[in-house]
Amino acid sequence: MGNQILKGKKGIIFGALNDQSIAWKVAETCHEEGAEFILTNAPIAMRMGAINELAEKTKSEIVACDVTLQEDMDKLVDKAMSKFGKVDFILHSVGMSLNVRKGKAYTDLNYEFMKKTFDISAMSFHRLLQTCYQKDAINEWGSVIGLSYIAAQRVFPDYNEMAESKALLESIGRSFGYHYGKFRKVRVNTISQSPTATTAGSGVSGFDAFMSYADKMSPLGNASGDDCANYCVSLFSDYTKMVTMQNLFHDGGFSYTGISQDVMDLFRENS
């Protein structure tokens, strides 16, 4: 049942591919908290079919949208407005790197792939915000979240061009947060999440090793997808009305830890 802190709120949730996806968990938690929403993903992801199960469970409609196509974004936002009037919250949980997928090293990137990566993973956040802004699709005090990773600030060699995608995503969140705040008191934030075992996450080489490294470095351990969903709900709620233009670390303390006892112990064992 949850606490119904999103009762009456309407939204759009991008990026639920399967039950490991962070967006999937956000959708389940938003539903428990009383929200209604549209689920969206790229047409190609729809063909995998799992999203239908989530739609049934959360009593949601599914609308296809490839985030790189303006006509798809227009149709999605128009559809949301005809169903709900204006919306109160949006989750952008979208990311994909063609260079990572094709196993290209950071020192040997294909630039056409790189443009596509930026288009899908970062420019789409601007496209979404600009489309909503121009159509005036979000209610006052609405809340928009994009999902980021600490590779925007620090080097994680295998994260590849996704590091630049996340830096761009966070910057768009700040800049658009200013304009949307002034225009309609809409909040825009990014959440910098711990490594999480999902389809996108596991695509990064050495993912298991850096997931356990992050877990050992973080005083609270890694934040799970379910924890992330709860945090998103708090940011969609009216309890965080004055939080905007922030990149919010949701990582069990990883971002501010220099070295942990657990990691030191591992080095001692091996020396």
Ligand X SMILES: NC(=O)c1ccc[n+]([C@@H]2O[C@H](COP(=O)([O-])OP(=O)(O)OC[C@H]3O[C@@H](n4cnc5c(N)ncnc54)[C@H](O)[C@@H]3O)[C@@H](O)[C@H]2O)c1
If residue 38 lies in a helix (H) or strand (E), which one and from where to where?
A: strand 36-41
**With binding defined as CB under 6 A, does residue 22 bind ligand X?**
yes
In the set 12, 27, 38, 42, which binds ligand X (CB under 6 A)?
42
In the set 30, 38, 41, 213, which binds ligand X (CB under 6 A)?
41
Q: Compute the least distance from the CB of residue 54 to ligand X, in Å.
A: 11
CB 90 within 8 A of CB 128: yes
Q: How far is CA 61 from CA 112, 166, 179, in A?
A: 34, 29, 30
Number of residues interacting with ligand X: please give it, by CB under 6 A: 26
- 130-149 binders of ligand X (CB under 6 A): 147-149
In the set 123, 200, 214, 235, which binds ligand X (CB under 6 A)?
200
HSE-up of 69 (CA within 13 Å, CB side)?
10
| Closer Cβ to ligand X, 99 or 139, answer by number | 99
Integer Cα distance of 58 and 174 in angstroms = 31
Integer Cα distance of 43 and 53 in angstroms = 16
In the set 3, 52, 70, 199, which binds ligand X (CB under 6 A)?
199
| Closer Cβ to ligand X, 96 or 138, answer by number | 96
Short-list 92, 196, 98, CA closest to 147? 92
Q: Compute the least distance from the CB of residue 248 to ligand X, in Å.
A: 12
- 69-108 binders of ligand X (CB under 6 A): 93-96
Integer Cα distance of 62 and 125 in angstroms = 19
**What is the binding site for ligand X (CB under 6 A)?**
15, 17, 21-23, 41-42, 45, 66-68, 93-96, 120, 147-149, 193, 195-196, 198-201
